[in-house]
Amino acid sequence: MRRRQIKHTIPEPKNQRANRQARGSKGGRPAGYDKAIFLDCGIPAGDIRTGKPYLPGYYRVRKQWDLVVLYKEVLVAALEFRSQVGSVGKNFKNRFEEALGSATDLAAAHKKNSPFGAVPPWLGYVFVLEEAEETEKLNRQSHALFETDPVFKGMSYTQRYQEMISRFVGENVYDIGWFITTQRAEDGSITYKEPLPTATARTLQVAIEGRIKLVKAMLAE
């Protein structure tokens, strides 16, 4: 995936997000995400849906996804885009529960009602985290009434997000992930890292290309 595409996925400057800072840059698709990868694979522009593309749920009637891609009325992909800028301690649980709920609801809908036909849904999760002292600090809050997974002991929020995405993909909650951390300099410039090797721009691109080839093969093209 092009460097320009990664840059456009990074959250907007601080003066444009001040009104969301207190609630942790809650939701929505990171601005300017490039659709070129789908177009390059032969998906018509009209089948790349943004805005308010709804898909059916099971525990609720429907859910709005950030990007839905169709091909000849078959669901190719549904992607969620989330960013976290500030207030990470207050919003980490919300991000996790939202991501898990969206995916499991869609999976249940397909299992119970088969709204997507013979081609099962394919889900992607993209997350952009702005690095700060709070995100990198080791977290000692891991106790519970019963023993917790020792993997989480001492993890920073950045590490917890990586573990979350790794487990989502490993347990087939989502089919692919992309995790980006950003650093904003005093002059407003932004640099980024992809700390999770299994959830990079490249792995996302390859996975999308493979998914489109699979759908076309299942349609005997």
pLDDT for res 98: 94
What average pLDDT does the segment 134-163 reach?
A: 85
In 3D space, the residue among 177, 7, 159 whose CA is nearest the CA of residue 88 turns out to be 159
Structural element, H or E, at residue 210: helix 201-218
According to DSSP, the β-strands at 48-49 and 54-56 are unpaired
**Any idea where the domains of the chain sit in the sequence?**
3-216
* Residues 17-70 pLDDT 10s: 433 433 334 344 443 456 888 998 999 999 999 988 999 999 999 999 999 999
Q: Give the whole-angstrom CA distance, residue 178 versus residue 69.
A: 17
* Per-residue pLDDT, 163: 96
Per-residue burial over 79-112, b if 16 or more Cβ lie within 10 Å, else e, is: bbbbbbbbbbeebbeebeeebeebbebbbebbee
Judged against a pLDDT cut of 80, whether residue 74 lies above it is answered with yes
Interatomic CA distance for residues 93 and 91, integer angstroms: 6
pLDDT at 124: 97
pTM confidence score: 0.85
